[in-house]
Amino acid sequence: MRVLFFSLIAITVISCDGQKRVAQAEYPEFVWDDNGSPVSIENKEESIVEPTARTSQTTNLNQAVDEWIGTPYKWGGTTKSGADCSGFALRIYEDVYNKSLPGRRVEDFLQSVSFVSQTEAQPGDLVFFRMKGRRVDHVGIYLGNNAFAHASTSKGVIINSLSDAYYQKKMFKIGRPN
């Protein structure tokens, strides 16, 4: 009986621990650093790439993104109950910067930006991607330290790194709204 009891406890601990690791791999946890940029809890040594000044707009951007994390993906959506990549970008710009991005589609946003290099990127710049071919079809918002927030079709609103090989391959350009 004692052996059965300890076996059940060991199985429970192992299975719970395994579930925890899966959740961390799918949704990396992060905190905001002293510069107002996201830092992955799992990999802090890679997180500080470039210094960014902490301004009230950067703080507002970080707070706004925090509120959207986990919002499910919904094609054509612009609310916290569901948003696509351009809907998420539109709402962040309205809420944080009191600005309206032109149009509703990624292609519309491309027409109203000045392109900057990745080393010149500042929090709030738009990051454009070619996810499914040659057409620019995805947008995210640069947060600093190579991190960007976007509405992923599979995971909803999340933060990823431009240093990830997948996003390096898919990134088109970074643009600053005019």
Each residue's pLDDT tens digit, 46-88: 333 333 444 677 789 999 999 999 999 999 999 999 999 999 9
Number of domains the chain contains = 1
Active site residue 150: yes
Active site residue 19: no
Close Cβ partners of 110 (under 8 Å, ≥ 6 residues apart): 128, 136, 175
Bridge partners of residue 140, in order along the sequence: 127
Which of 150, 157, 158, 162 is catalytic? The answer is: 150
Mean pLDDT by 10 residues, the chain (178 residues): 40 34 38 55 38 62 96 97 97 95 94 95 97 95 97 96 96 96
Tell me which residue range forms the domain holding 47.
2-177
Q: What is the DSSP string of 161-177?
A: ETTSHHHHHHEEEEEEE
Close Cβ partners of 166 (under 8 Å, ≥ 6 residues apart): none
Which of 138, 162, 172, 175 is catalytic? The answer is: 138
Kindly report the pTM of this predicted structure: 0.70
CATH code of the domain covering residue 25: 3.90.1720.10
